[in-house]
Each structure stands twice: as structure tokens, then as C-alpha cells.
Chains A and B, each alone.
Chain A
């Protein structure tokens, strides 16, 4: 069964304290892994797409990496405005664009 698992479920950091969020997947064929940010009461906002193992993408304090079985979202020196829920999703090769989502990691960054 295709599955996406994110850990931890919740993460509390002090401002400036770097850390990583994990997204592990077991799918029959990967055609893209996506990271989204979601603020309370809003829809997910796209951050990154990764297509193949070894690929990395960066945006400000965020860096996403991909291996054959998992992806990491590294947050360097986070600020309170980075507080949000981070969602990981995979797009399978066997269908027309359906995404399978993990349950998300809720990040809280305290000043």
C-alpha cells in the first residue's frame, strides 16, 4: 500500500535552533515529492518539488533533500514566522496527478 509518514507530529524550537523534519514514503512509483506549508485556517502553499534521489532545493531558511526512501526539510536558524504545519506529499507515476499526503508536522518557533 502506498504510504507517506511524517515525523515528528509536532516540533517546538527556540528561535535560531536548527532542526529537520522527516518524510518517509513507500510507494510503487514516485513521480515527484512535494513540500507545502500550511498556516492555520488556510490552504497549503507550495514550497518545493523534488524529483530524484540526491536532489536538493533551497528557499531562505529552508532546504529540502530527497533519498530513495525519504525526504528531509531542514530549517536553519528558524524565526517565529516559520511556525506552521509542513506537509509532504508524493505524486505517483500510476495516475493522473493524485497526491498522497503525510499527516504533517506542526512547527512552533518561540522567540
Chain B
């Protein structure tokens, strides 16, 4: 069965900390995505990657960076966590070919205090 796994379900971090969110997929997908989800705002794309070491900014990249050293792993980095980055973070992956759906991880609920 298809699987996208996020390293943590819940995280609590302090303001100013550097935070790493990890995502691993086992489907050999080329594309990987990081979204954040907030009430009333829906899912917003932070960054995506369409190949190893390749990345592109999404709609809200400020305050975030990403790393994709291996095809199966896509990391989201909060360089200096702030309270407005408290959110649900969702990782997804998909094949590069058109028309194919994205598979999502279970989400990481991050609270910055």
C-alpha cells in the first residue's frame, strides 16, 4: 500500500528554535510537497520539489526552507520558529506524469510557544 510518513504527529517547540519536519515516501514519486493547513485558509503550498536537489517556492515560503538529498525524503526546515508558524503541516507526493493524484501523510501538528 502507498505510504507517506511524517516523522512526528505532534511537536511543541520554543520561539527561535530551528525545527526539522521530515517526510518519507515509499512510492518512488518524483514530486514532493509541503503544505500548511490553517482554519479558514485551507491548504497552502510552502515548497515543492520535482526531483532530488530541486526545489521551488510555493505560495508562502517565507520563514521556511527545504532539503531533498534523496528521492524518498523531503525535509521542511523552520530556520527560527515563530508563533505564527503554529499550524498543521502536511507532506504529499505524486508521480511527475500528469493526471495522477497526490498522496498525503498524516500531518504534523506543530505548536510554537
- Interface residues in chain A, defined as those with a beta carbon under 8 Å from any beta carbon in chain B: 31-32, 34, 36, 41-46, 49, 51, 87, 89, 91, 93, 96-99, 101-104
Contact = CB atoms under 8 A, between A and B. Distances in A.
A72 to B, nearest CB: 19
A34 B96 contact: no
B99 A99 contact: no
Contacts of A34: 101-102
Contacts of A93: 98
Contact of A101 (B31, B43, B95): B43
B107 A96 contact: no
Given A41-B109, A97-B31, A97-B48, A32 B99 contact: yes
Interface in B73-113: 90, 92, 94-96, 98-99, 101-107, 109
B40 A42 contact: no
Contact of A99 (B40, B41, B102, B106): B102
B104 A43 contact: yes
A98 B106 CA distance: 19
A45 B41 contact: no
- Kindly state the interface size class of chain B when it binds its partner: 20 to 34
A91 B105 CA distance: 19
B104 A98 contact: no
Contacts of A99: 33, 43, 45, 92, 102
20 contacts: A31-B98, A34-B101, A42-B107, A43-B4, A43-B104, A43-B106, A45-B104, A46-B101, A49-B101, A89-B43, A91-B98, A96-B56, A97-B31, A97-B102, A98-B58, A99-B43, A99-B92, A101-B42, A101-B43, A104-B42
Given A41-B109, A89-B43, A101-B43, 16 more contacts: A31-B99, A41-B107, A43-B4, A43-B106, A44-B90, A46-B103, A49-B101, A91-B98, A97-B33, A97-B94, A98-B48, A98-B58, A99-B33, A99-B92, A101-B35, A102-B42
